[in-house]
């Protein structure tokens, strides 16, 4: 495993012995060593810097080793402490190890050898911890909506960003709704990895993908022999997510008979595995998602009303792609750039006509469909430009009704946008002329352009 610089504090009141330990450790070019001669000096230094490792003389003039060890752990819990003592007392060593010391070394002719082995072992642990922290930071950044994991500038998505921010700063239950493919799990991860629980587990469960008779075991766990096929103990998803976040996707698919048990677990914050009487306390933040209208399911009697209100929490509705205007082009560019980079392809740009075709498409599969579409287009294009014919799976809507996959008439606002856009297309994107033809204010058209509801394909400078 690759290691890096390791900072070490040496605490020793004996000038000669302290110099010897400092010199021995300094022979390793990757060790940055600093020496202290008293507990008071060390504590002052700890408030300024947090070292990776401390070698601590057990007998100091101003305190005892066990008391100083507890103070070190309170100030810098992640710092490893090696006790170096003149006492060859097993009980003292055991007591110090139980209080958090990483090792106990007796001062004798074997000290340097023991210290070398101990620092090597701890250095590997420090490197693993740094690697893990780096990975957690990278994951947090990956799912930080403020770093454009969730991309867009439309009013609809800006509202989502505001709610995600509020959800990340609290421990409230969050219910995420939206059509299939709108990014509900990405939103859930964004909440978790920007919350105080970001260093704890994020556990996702798609309830629609688990056979109905296995869901209880999957969520709450079971003991060996509790049912046919239970060959060993299984830890459920709630226990896996302890101190972290449990994301229950497609919560609307949960069988009505299990909803009562889920409600009890959420209210009591405790559970029992199948086949056990042991009560297990849990501390789990709950995020749920569904493409269903749960209130309608409550009225139909397929979803418990008390569970509905327990899970409602902070509702976040993810808008369908067709309602996000120019966000379609921003997201398409993100997917295009990422795919070309990952596959060592020449960077590709969407042509004006390809952009126009994307903006007119209803995208019943939402972001998931758009990603698949542009990745295929990157493969089909032999140049640095993506043309309409490369968008192989997509045909422009022939009728207004096709623009809405739910079969519901378009809203007045959607009709208005289409009429104005068509007039812009037919009049060389001349805003003044279109305003006169349609008898509307030019400021209305400019506002709709800035909101991403309309686009000027040939003359973006006219927005200014």
What CA–CA distance (Å, rounded) separates 161 from 187?
A: 9
> Pairing relation of β-strands 349-350 and 314-317?
unpaired
Indicate whether 50 pLDDT > 50: yes
The C-alpha atoms of residue 130 and residue 286 are separated, in whole angstroms, by: 29
Mean pLDDT of 27-37: 91
For residue 197, pLDDT over 50 is answered with: yes
Span 335-373, pLDDT tens digits:
999 999 999 999 999 999 999 999 988 898 999 999 999
Answer whether residue 4 shows pLDDT above 80: no
Which residue do the tokens 């302290």 mark? 18
CB 253 within 8 A of CB 209: no
* Residue 12 Rama label (left phi>0; alpha psi -120 to 50; beta): beta
Q: In whole angstroms, give the CA distance from residue 284 to residue 262.
A: 13
Statement: residue 165 has pLDDT above 50: yes
Segment 240-249 mean pLDDT: 96
Strands of 53-57's sheet in order across: 31-36, 6-11, 53-57, 80-85, 103-106
What would the pLDDT profile of 134-143 be if each residue is shown by its tens digit? 665 555 555 5
Dihedral sign for Cα atoms in the order 433, 437, 441, 447: negative
- 146: pLDDT strictly greater than 60: no
CB atoms within 10 A of CB 7: 16
Instruction: Please tell me the distance from the alpha carbon of residue 251 to that of residue 289, in angstroms, as a whole number.
Output: 6
- 376/360 Cα distance (integer angstroms): 19
Question: Would the pLDDT of 148 be above 70?
Answer: no
Paired tokens of 249: 């996707």
80 beta partners: 53
227-236, 278-287, 450-459: which is most confident: 278-287
Class of domain 6-139 as given by CATH: alpha beta
Please say whether the beta carbons of 336 and 350 come within 8 A: yes
Q: Is the pLDDT of residue 435 over 80?
A: yes
pLDDT tens by residue, 338-347: 999 999 999 9
Higher pLDDT, 284 or 209: 284
Q: Are 32 and 21 in contact (CB under 8 A)?
A: no
Average pLDDT for 241-269: 95
Q: How far is CA 313 from the centre of its chain?
A: 20
- 3-state class of 328 per DSSP? helix
Q: Which of 235, 317, 325 is nearest to 272 (CA)?
A: 235
Q: Residue 131: which pLDDT band, with cuts at 50, 70 and 90?
A: confident
CATH code of the domain occupying 150-319: 3.40.50.300
**Dist CA 439 CA 350 (whole Å):** 33
Q: Where are the alpha helices (DSSP H) in 14-110?
A: 15-26, 39-46, 65-75, 90-98
Which fold does the domain 321-408 belong to in CATH? Helicase, Ruva Protein; domain 3 (1.10.8)
| DSSP for residue 82 | E
CA distance 75 to 81: 13
CA angle, 446 then 370 then 319, to 5°: 60
166-178 average pLDDT score: 94
Where is pLDDT greater, at 328 or 415? 328
Residue 430 has pLDDT above 50, yes or no: yes
Closest listed residue to residue 42, CA positions, set 81, 97, 100, 95: 81
pLDDT at 460: 45
Residues forming beta bridges with residue 313, ordered by sequence position: 174
CA 175/CA 323 separation, integer angstroms: 21
Q: How many helices (H) and strands (E) does the chain have?
A: 18, 16
| CA–CA dist 352, 258 (Å, integer) | 52
């Amino acid at each position: 495993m690759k290691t890096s610089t390791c900072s070490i504090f040496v605490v020793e009141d004996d000038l000669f012995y302290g110099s010897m330990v400092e010199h021995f450790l300094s022979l390793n070019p990757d060790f940055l060593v600093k020496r202290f001669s008293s507990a008071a000096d060390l504590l002052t230094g700890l408030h300024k810097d947090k070292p990776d490792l401390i070698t601590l003389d057990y007998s100091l003039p101003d305190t005892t080793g066990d008391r100083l060890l507890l103070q070190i752990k309170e100030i810098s819990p992640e710092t490893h402490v090696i006790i170096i003592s003149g006492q060859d007392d097993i009980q003292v060593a055991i007591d110090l190890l139980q209080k958090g010391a990483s090792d106990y070394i007796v001062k004798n002719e074997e000290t340097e050898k023991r210290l070398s082995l101990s620092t090597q072992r701890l250095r590997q642990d420090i490197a693993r911890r740094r690697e893990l922290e780096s990975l957690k930071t990278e994951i947090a950044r990956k799912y930080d909506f403020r770093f454009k994991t969730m991309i867009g500038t439309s009013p609809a998505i800006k509202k989502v960003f505001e709610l995600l921010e509020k959800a990340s700063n609290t421990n409230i239950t969050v219910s995420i709704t939206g059509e299939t493919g709108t990014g509900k799990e990405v939103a859930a991860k964004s909440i978790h990895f920007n919350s105080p629980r970001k260093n704890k587990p994020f556990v996702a469960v798609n309830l629609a993908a688990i056979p109905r008779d296995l869901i209880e075991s999957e969520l709450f766990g079971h003991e060996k022999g509790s049912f046919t096929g239970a060959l060993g103990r299984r830890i459920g998803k709630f226990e896996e997510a302890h101190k972290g976040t449990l994301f229950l996707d497609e919560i609307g698919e949960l069988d009505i008979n299990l909803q009562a048990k889920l409600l009890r677990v959420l209210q009591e914050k405790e559970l029992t595995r199948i086949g056990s009487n042991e009560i297990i306390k849990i501390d789990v933040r709950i995020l749920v998602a569904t493409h269903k209208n749960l209130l309608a399911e409550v009225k139909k009697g397929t979803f418990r009303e008390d569970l509905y209100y327990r899970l409602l929490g902070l509702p976040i509705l993810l808008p369908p792609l067709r309602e996000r205007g120019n966000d379609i082009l921003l997201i398409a560019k993100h997917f295009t750039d990422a795919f070309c980079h990952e596959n060592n392809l020449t960077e590709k740009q969407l042509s004006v006509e390809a952009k126009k075709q994307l903006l007119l498409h209803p995208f019943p599969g939402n972001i998931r469909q758009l990603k698949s579409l542009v990745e295929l287009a990157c493969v089909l294009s032999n140049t640095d430009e993506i043309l309409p014919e490369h968008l192989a799976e997509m045909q422009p809507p022939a009728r207004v009704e096709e623009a809405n996959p739910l079969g519901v008439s378009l809203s007045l606002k959607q009709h208005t946008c289409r009429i104005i856009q068509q007039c812009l297309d037919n009049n060389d994107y001349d805003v003044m002329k279109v305003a006169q033809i349609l008898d509307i204010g030019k400021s209305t058209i400019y506002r709709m352009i800035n909101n991403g509801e309309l686009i000027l394909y040939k003359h973006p400078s006219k927005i200014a």
